[in-house]
Amino acid sequence: MLWHIGNTTVRTPYRLQEALRILLASPLNANLAHRDQEIVFAQFLHDNEIVEIQRLEADNSSLGRKWRAALSQLGFITPQLTRGIDNGTIDPLVSANAAGIAQLSGRQYEITPNGARLGQADTIAAQQECFLRSLVNYRIPSPLEDRYDCAPFSPLRFVLEVMHELGARGAVLVLSFEEFALHVQTSSPDDGIANVVDRVLAYRAAREAARGNVRAFDREQYAAIAAQIDRQASTLDDYADLSFRYLKATGLFRNAGRGIGLSPNKAQLAELIRQNQPVFADDREYFQSLWQGADLPTDDLATAIVVVNDLAGQLTARGVPSYPPPVGTPLPDIEIIRHAFEERLLQLDEEEYAAAQAGQLDEIAAWMDAVATRGSATLADGTRLTVPRGEGPAYLEWVIWRAFLAIDSLVKPSWEARNFKIDQDFLPVHCAPGGRPDMVFEFENAIVVVEVTLTSSSRQEAAEGEPVRRHVATYAENSPKPVYGLFIALQIDSNTAHTFSAGAWYLPDDTKISLDIVPLTLKEFRAFLLGGRQNLSEMPQKLRMLLIECRSVANRDAPHWKREIAQIVARLS
């Protein structure tokens, strides 16, 4: 047996929200049944930069179909069943009204209440709650996924039970990537939680004994398990990576090295979920709950107060005095307080993450290499860094943000510097939305508006020339501090450089303002960053000097200006 959560086409769960937003605002809601609609859906995904279709003229219906399947699998849209519920005794299309959900018409591929909630969620914490409501209910096998040969079980609760048993035995409360790939996702509750944990701990001990020859040990283990289940060894890793992403999207888990551990902020909630397993009388009730979204322990007033009190205690322990809500506070207000406490805890985590970046320059540089090659890079200790397929633009924004955090002289919090969202492990969820700059870094004596792109050739100028100048102009018009624009790409097209060299923008009243925008290649910015590693405190002034010197020669022809910029970077690095 080998199970996984999610859809291998949609490897980043947070992108499902973007797809739902498209559906909510389009005529495709409950109108995705045929090939023509699948092609339109795929085109919408491409046009909204959720996916990148290489050949727009090709038949991309399979892409639309796979995204539709990903949404229906977790209950965010209704499915089309090939057979009816209750042993085929009702029509193949499940009647949502018969299931008791008044918000739905009963049509196939219609956004469900939990899908609408996810589509409208405006914070990562709110999105995580939607994924949690889905995965608390989600079962395999089910009428939608019947290929598994075991009793129906909740993958989320199964993993929580394994973690709980590890803790009960005094073991480290972390599941490594290999432990999950080899022994958790190849098991189910039918095997017995104790037996699964026995295998995990036996593997853990054997791997420790093989220290110095771990790679060969792992190869043997993967080969043996893959042979048992008749799968490729690489499939074990592929499915484990996928399930990890969806488990972490609930907010209950976070990275622990390459593995996962319980998120300290949500430990209380995770335990309450482990102890309370939903029971469904039949398939109809299962779908009803999946589409509505599970009731969570925090939906109960008494339990919500317990969780909020725990969060208040965590904040107080971390130096932010916080107090439980007064007796008699209604549940909706408790929920608002809970979300505020969770958001503040995430901010405290991000403050610690930001402060640590000065010591992560080698990793930051390696991530730049991985983005530049659109693949992967390896650290000195052998750790391999891989940019997920299709997420290069988001990772480019993220690694540049980390580089500026390493400079460590910002006068505003790290979350105010980025316009893209990150998850609880500080990894990018998606690119910054259109209409705003990717990042804005404010120093004591200057503001730097940063835009990045992976586009090249003349497409680069067409896509970036106007938005970059407009974004810089917005800050230059209103800031008492000097404002600079920094444009970073793998390669700078000369047409792009020519556009930025002009350095002017006209406001709606025809007032002309000067813009100081400098284009750098990612390689040049990497060299500049690493050149200042010994004196990071001097980097803000050094960066301003770089920008001023580059602008001083902006009257050159674009190819000449690019060469001058390269020479200035080399001298200051």
pLDDT digits (tens, 9 = 90+) for 346-356: 999 999 999 99
Q: Vertex 442, ends 436 and 446: CA angle to 5°?
A: 115
Q: Give residue 90's pLDDT.
A: 37
Q: Is residue 113 part of a domain?
A: no
> CA–CA distance from 290 to each of 160, 276, 400 (Å)?
19, 16, 39
Q: Give residue 46's pLDDT.
A: 87
Span 460-473, average pLDDT:
94
H-helix segments, 210-266: 214-229, 233-248
CA distance 275 to 157: 9
Q: Give residue 131's pLDDT.
A: 98
Residue 165: CB atoms within 10 Å: 17
Whether 382 and 331 share a structural domain: no
Whether 451 and 544 share a structural domain: yes
Whether 432 and 508 share a structural domain: yes
Q: Give residue 56's pLDDT.
A: 64
Whether 382 and 402 share a structural domain: yes
Closest CA to 309 of 343, 268, 346: 268
> What pLDDT, in 10s, does the model give residues 376-422?
999 988 888 989 877 899 999 999 999 999 998 899 999 999 999 99
Instruction: Give me the sheet containing 253-256, strands edge to edge.
Output: 174-175, 259-262, 253-256
> What pLDDT, in 10s, does the model give residues 210-226?
998 999 999 999 999 99
Q: Give residue 82's pLDDT.
A: 52
What one-character-per-residue DSSP string does 122-177 give?
Answer: -SHHHHHHHHHHHHHH--BS-SS-----S--B-HHHHHHHHHHHHHHTT--SEE-H
Q: Give residue 81's pLDDT.
A: 61
**pTM (two decimals):** 0.87
Whether 490 and 417 share a structural domain: yes
Domain closes at, from 313, 334, 354: 354
CA distance 217 to 49: 42
Q: Is residue 213 part of a domain?
A: no
Q: Give residue 98's pLDDT.
A: 46
Whether 490 and 405 share a structural domain: yes
pLDDT bucket at 174, cuts 50 / 70 / 90: very high
R_g over Cα of the chain:
26
Span 457-462, average pLDDT:
89
Strand, coil or helix: 386: strand
Distance of alpha carbon 522 from its chain centroid, rounded?
23
Q: Give residue 144's pLDDT.
A: 86
Q: Is residue 170 part of a domain?
A: no
Q: Is residue 305 part of a domain?
A: yes
Q: Is residue 219 part of a domain?
A: no
**Which backbone phi and psi does 345 adopt, to 5 degrees?**
-65, -40
Site of tokens 């107090």: 323
Whether 375 and 427 share a structural domain: yes
Beta carbons within 8 Å of 57's beta carbon, 6+ residues apart: none
Whether 343 and 406 share a structural domain: no
CB-CB contact of 242 with 181 (8 Å): no
Q: Is residue 91 part of a domain?
A: no
Residue 374: CB atoms within 10 Å: 12
Beta carbons within 8 Å of 35's beta carbon, 6+ residues apart: 61
Q: Give residue 84's pLDDT.
A: 45
> What pLDDT, in 10s, does the model give residues 237-255?
999 999 999 999 999 999 9
Query: In this structure, what DSSP letter does residue 534 have?
Result: G
Task: Name the residue type at position 75.
Answer: G
CB-CB contact of 198 with 169 (8 Å): no
H/E element holding 28?
none
- Residue 88 pLDDT exceeds 80: no
CA distance 165 to 217: 25
Span 448-468, average pLDDT:
93
Domain closes at, from 354, 380, 397: 354
- Residue 13 pLDDT exceeds 70: yes
Q: Domain of 413: which CATH number? A: 3.40.91.50
Domain span including residue 330 = 301-354
Whether 349 and 371 share a structural domain: no
- Residue 162 pLDDT exceeds 60: yes
pLDDT bucket at 538, cuts 50 / 70 / 90: very high
Whether 489 and 368 share a structural domain: yes
- Residue 102 pLDDT exceeds 70: no
Q: Give residue 271's pLDDT.
A: 94
Of all residues in the chain, the percent with pLDDT exceeding 90 is 77
Span 505-533, average pLDDT:
95
Domain closes at, from 321, 354, 387: 354
- Residue 484 pLDDT exceeds 60: yes
Query: In this structure, what DSSP letter does residue 10 have?
Result: B
Distance of alpha carbon 342 from its chain centroid, rounded?
18
- Number of structural domains in the chain: 2
Distance of alpha carbon 187 from its chain centroid, rounded?
27
Whether 467 and 532 share a structural domain: yes
Task: Name the residue type at position 70.
Answer: A
Whether 340 and 372 share a structural domain: no
Q: Is residue 497 part of a domain?
A: yes
Q: Is residue 293 part of a domain?
A: no
